[in-house]
Structure 1
């Protein structure tokens, strides 16, 4: 749920929030109707009624000199519904943020949602990881759709293949069937391709409609990617075998002026195989840079796919990629400027907390993520990190915690932990924040957070938000038990970061927080001499005047602007392509002796699509940039005072205020330390008798699976599991 900045009014009757929720319910009803119809089209696509009756009639009624005889029908039934859902999603999310019906007692109805809770219980499936029963159900339905489509295509095509018809072509029956089956494999791959880019559109307006985030949906992108490449590879191999059997391998070099281009398809497949080879976990985790750079092969993969099948057929897969390109270009615009990095807390456990300035208008929910680029370390690499701050508790600051577990993060730690004179400021670019539009932690009576190592990071953001809820809003919050496992006592300093440098109350009596900290590789507390080495240092930096506070890319009404960009950019594209077709391509196609090149047509469509996005997104960005410039300048001036919370003139300001190595005084009272042992997670979870226990876990794969197994055992119906993993 979206937290309030001011205490909620005592009465929550049918005010503005109720009206907003009514409108949102109506929007959701329309979305579900349109989405159901869209899925129904994919189910009917391989059938004879669609191919022989519906499609010809639809093409006849939508044929025009502006979009051709087939393009209008494709836009109407496959492109327009998805873009409509995306625009409605923008309105839905915006109204959700505007709603004042922010009931902090919501969710105390665990018994009423018992059936749904069962469907949300986790399952561990090899190859898929931790998934809920809902996810498995939809995954199986999607696989059923693929099987149904392939079987229907084969049934209809094989029915026309006979020894007599094969003999007319001078081929054997099995060769004709191989040709047909290989062709249909591509059709099935295209179904998965239509959904491929939705999960990785970070600023998506579609995912929130279904309660999803881009970070949590990456696994769907991975599943779809494996399915697509399996089917497309089988499609390519099938055709190579077919051409070899009929002695027509020269077809591999065919790129006709009109129709299907085999060469373009082969280039697209090779680009896809290069990406696919680096996506498997062992390669991706050990050679992340190789994975990162080769994944940019998605550009030739998509471009040559469009050249291969033609723009009309590719328009069936267009909406997901269109929304992704809009999101990608907005991220590009946001990342062009440097942000104000004010300070860093350097921990002896190879971790740092970076503290940025942000505008008051930027709000985000706990567990949100942000992508960082630090050119002094790598100009090309972008890395995602969990935001550890609360946008309510720290209205002027945003912080992230980075644990040194790779080359990039280790270089950052070395840079900040070096001698004071070696670093004055650091250029940083960001993309984001991205995260859930709302959270429902308050619906539980108890939150049990299980973390391993740096997995404590997302829980820090939740704790800070609950501090704000309990101490500022004076609302009842759930009891919190944080179970953290660390390898060494140095890692205990991660708990120092639970409280921010500024903005938090000195005490929080209304928050019931208990921390069970385990140091697994040491038998006892370190000596005093060793504790002196575990000091947490605060490094104060001096940003350039041109460095800006982090702000929403499209302002506070960013989803309304996104809806405007989606609709206007597609309208601009339609206008350009309509004029081109009517006055240039159509006259050429009317000449029976000359046809306009399919490749040129596809290239022009892609060009005008990009032009439409460029015009709409750039205009929206510049309008919001000028609008927010005054607010940013005022905030920068306020941050340049001599206070420790600002940007002081020395690198180490008020050094005597350096934090202790063990948790701060207010936090240390809540900490119970255990050395030389691991937590008994079954005991922590099964002994809780509260009616609703939210169980969150973030850490190593083994830990996540252990907690998931406990919650899925069915021995405790009050456990509600949520895995937070950033190591997909």
Structure 2
């Protein structure tokens, strides 16, 4: 009877999820239709006034219409998506294996373009790119066509030449079309976004969309600004740029916003980003100036058109801030001779994440401001109480960390803060017959978590796992020790037999003809003393994070509406009576932005503190590894003279086939692979990813299923 009840409850949850999914899709289709119809002569002359007449009230004023049309639908979808994943989490019991069949859509996920300025493009991405460009062209043409209809009359009225009026209207149309890009700009950088996950995307995989949208938006806004400057110059009104109108558009605010955007845009040039990443990173905070003065420029009512993406980003950013204020428990570190370290943190047992997830870490003793993303190498199935990341010494920050940990005077404690983890909702790796993992250098890191996950499945009764071919390329033979990180340092993982996974490792050392016999350094393990203030790594909102996120989105928005209603009814409405011609735009915009910040901060902080209070496992996790620390005097190099190979598990380097002085022939390797379904995953340098993508694109068979793991935050 219990099993029947359980199945019935599971079926109810499944149908509820389906209802949420279809309802969200219908809302999104309606929202998309608004953007399509908006440039035409149907929307603003007819539909918008009718909606405004019905929605106009003494509580929300004219901005209530734009909030209803543009802001409310997306925030509702975000809330429903969060509820969807909360139900999915309960139904699947944290299982990260994908439940949906993906092979039927494999042709849409295969790379269509392997090289080019946009990088690797799939059929799905190309389809959406074409539709997005068509929407931009559609909007621009209709806006210009509608504005040009009255050029002759307006030119005579203002005593301008017709081409001057056309220039002004063209500049205005470019600025309005830029709204489309700005409305989408912040969605890809919302790391904990329920909407991204709802459509099968991750933040780290969507950064390229943020880059594309940023370039297009700044091109449109720059053309918008230059158009007006030329128009004002030709009509002897150049001082218009310095006007801050009390009512209506503020030109000087627009100039400040554009200037901040141009500085930010210039810092994204590849030459600056690669050689002066610090400049690129800190300049990006000018987005705050850009957004604030954009709101001052067009008014809060018009800003509601692009508000949803930024609103969700603000919630995510504030939750990250709350999480980053905690110090996490660093248990141990493995120091490899190839200037690579593995950091092992204590984690909450309830924290589950899919392979290839990432986490951001901050080490205040190195830099209080710098946050760096790293792929999680551990698996939440095999490593129930630890979380591991691998850091290759390749820059000033990572080199300083390596020097600290490899110093002859070992440190007893290291303060570390984290944000995350972030990653895909599910994986599909075990659905293939053969899995080919191609990596270059530190690109092997995400594959460590995949292999550990497959080891767990191979040791689980009834679980079928694919054969795995790991093709890894390194510059020097000393880098081969990275392969041993596949074997966890946690003693709890020794129960899993790695031999049950059909794993073949082909390692390539490209810059050496033979092994370096002079360097025989051993892998060292460093144990750290516990600190009473340190906490295990856990989700910012705990095990019910999706439920809490839905509450935060909905409750903060309702609180914001309540504050706006009180302000409008008892302060603004008695002054302007919804005419928008008396009360200053600057004051209204400032108060509205302040209310948004207050609403998000109050609700998110309350949810965060409530979850922290309810975390019953915290005290238990904090005491983990205390006994280990007591057995290592001074918490220095504990058993530092022991190689990984001397542990119960054998060193994997000894089982790998090593090729010296050559690069992997990917075409030959793939042609020699047999199987009805072959998953090809590549992680590493851009050139390698594009090469593998091009080979999979040129292959006529449908057996290859390509995926590129790129973590270009």
- The answer to whether the superposition gives a TM-score over 0.5 is yes
- Residues 50 and 623 (structure 1 numbering): CA distance in 2 closer, same or farther, change over 3 Å? same
Q: Which residue of 2 aligns with 1:124?
A: 114
The 3 A distance-change label for structure 1 pair 10 and 352 is farther
Cα 1:336–1:577 shift into 2, 3 Å:
same
Aligned to 2:88: 96
- The alpha-carbon distance between structure 1 residues 570 and 238, as it changes in their structure 2 partners (threshold 3 A), is same
Match 1:87 to one of 79, 94, 98: 79
Q: Deviations over 1:363-389 (max 9, x none)?
A: 101000000111111110111000000
Equivalences for 1:136-215 in 2 at 5 Å? 136-162=126-152, 164-215=153-204
Q: CA deviation at 1:13?
A: 10
Change beyond 3 A, Cα 1:727–1:662: farther
What number of residue pairs does the alignment pair up?
709
Shift of 1:236: 0.2
- Residue-by-residue CA offset, 1:286-315 (whole Å, 9 max, x unaligned): 211111100000000000000000000000
Q: How many Å separate the matches in 1 of 2:662 and 2:233? A: 63
Change (3 A) 1:151 1:509: same
Which residue is 2:419 aligned to?
Answer: 431
- Give 1:350 shift: 1.4
* Alpha-carbon distance in 2 for matches of 1:466, 1:116: 22
Q: Which runs of 5+ in 2 are unaligned?
A: none
Match of 2:474 among 452, 465, 486: 486
1:498 matched to 2:486: yes
2:512 matched to which residue of 1?
Answer: 522
The equivalent residue for 1:65 is 58
User: Is residue 179–residue 306 contact of structure 2 (8 Å, CA) maintained in 1?
Assistant: yes
Q: CA deviation at 1:22?
A: 2.5
Aligned equivalent of 2:18: 25
What's the offset of the Cα at 1:671? 1.0
- Decide whether aligned partners of structure 1 residues 708 and 648 sit closer, same or farther in structure 2, where only a CA change above 3 A counts: farther
Other-structure match for 2:650: 665
1:279 maps to 2:268: yes
* 2:368 pairs with one of 354, 379, 382: 379
For residue 593 of structure 1, report the CA deviation from its aligned partner: 12
Deviation at 1:639, TM superposition (A): 2.6
1:610-649 matched pairs, under 5 angstroms? 610-628=597-615, 630-642=616-628, 649=634
User: Which of 534, 547, 550 is matched with 2:537 structurally?
Assistant: 550
CA distance in 2, matches of 1:103, 1:613: 30
Measured in 1, the distance between the counterparts of 2:29 and 2:400 equals 50
* Deviation of 1:12 (Å): 14
Q: Give the drift of 1:689.
A: 2.5
Would the aligned equivalents of 1:640 and 1:647 in 2 still touch at CA under 8 Å? no
Point out the more displaced range, 634-643 or 177-186.
634-643
Q: Deviations over 1:414-458 (max 9, x none)?
A: 11111134x221111100000011111111111100000000000
Aligned equivalent of 2:244, options 243, 250, 255: 255
1:19 shift after superposition = 3.6
Q: Quote the Cα distance in structure 2 between the aligned partners of 1:686 and 1:83.
A: 48
Question: In structure 2, what is the equivalent of residue 695 of structure 1?
Answer: 680
1:577 equivalent to 2:572? Answer no
- Once the two structures are overlaid, the 10-residue window that deviates more, 539-548 or 267-276, is 539-548
Distance 1:575 1:76 in 2: 14
1:604 is matched with 591
| 1:230-271 deviation line (CA, Å, top 9, x unaligned) | 000000000000000000001010001111000100000011
The whole-number CA distance in structure 2 between the counterparts of 1:245 and 1:109 is: 58
Q: Tell me which of 551, 562, 569 is aligned to 1:564.
A: 551
1:450 to 414, 433, 438: 438
Q: 1:484 to 1:103 in 2, by over 3 A?
A: closer
Map of 1:3 onto structure 2? none
Shift of 1:504: 2.1
Gaps of 5+ in 1: 1-8
TM-score (norm 2): 0.96
